[in-house]
Amino acid sequence: MCIFCKIIAGEIPAHKVYEDDKVLAFLDIKPVHPGHILVLPKKHAANIEEVEEVELSAIILAVKKMGALLKDRLGYEAYNIYQNNGPVAGQTVMHLHFHIIPRVANDNLNHWPVRDYTPGEAEEVLKKLTA
Ligand code: AMP
Ligand code: ZN
């Protein structure tokens, strides 16, 4: 059983914020800022490709609720929603989860580096994506 399934089963404690029949949300044990929340399906799915649509719908509605909670109850003015999908993308727990990360000004949680497309590159990519 994965570590998040153990939390869902009550075998490992967690600071639960929200729960319904399909979804659990609890505090990340290592927050960027206090109130950093993880939202996940109760039914194990490793990633966003595995999860069933009905579970995913419930998750995203809970994500929306958690974002509002961060603003209304904890006074944050902004937050990021992250979902690391695959180890190369930084996923360390292989049970799908969305991070709701409260933000404060100048907190150094920077966005990803960017580059420009080379001439024709975007068209090549688009051809593959839409073929
Ligand atoms: P990710 O890198 O997207 O897979 O994120 C996994 C997250 O799970 C990390 O931010 C961890 O701090 C968090 N985490 C791991 N174990 C626990 C736990 N027992 N309770 C709460 N959060 C956890
Ligand atoms: Zn699991």
Instruction: Give yes or no for a contact between 60 and 52, defined as CB atoms under 8 angstroms apart.
Output: no
* Pairwise CA distance, residues 16 & 76, whole Å: 19
Answer whether 14 contacts ligand 1 (Cβ < 6 A): yes
Which residue among 15, 33, 95, 97 is the active-site one? Answer: 97
Question: What is the arithmetic mean of pLDDT over 102-129?
Answer: 96
Clarify whether 97 is annotated catalytic. yes
pLDDT at residue 106 in the model: 95
| Listed residue (26, 31, 34) closest to 4, CA to CA | 26
The CA-to-CA distance between both ends of the chain, in Å, stands at 39
* 0.85 surpassed by pTM: yes
Number of DSSP helices (H) and strands (E) in the chain, helices first? 3, 5
| Domain positions in the chain | 3-130
Query: Which CATH architecture group holds 3-130?
Result: 2-Layer Sandwich (3.30)
Answer whether 87 contacts ligand 1 (Cβ < 6 A): no
pLDDT digits (tens, 9 = 90+) for 67-99: 999 999 999 999 999 999 999 999 999 999 999
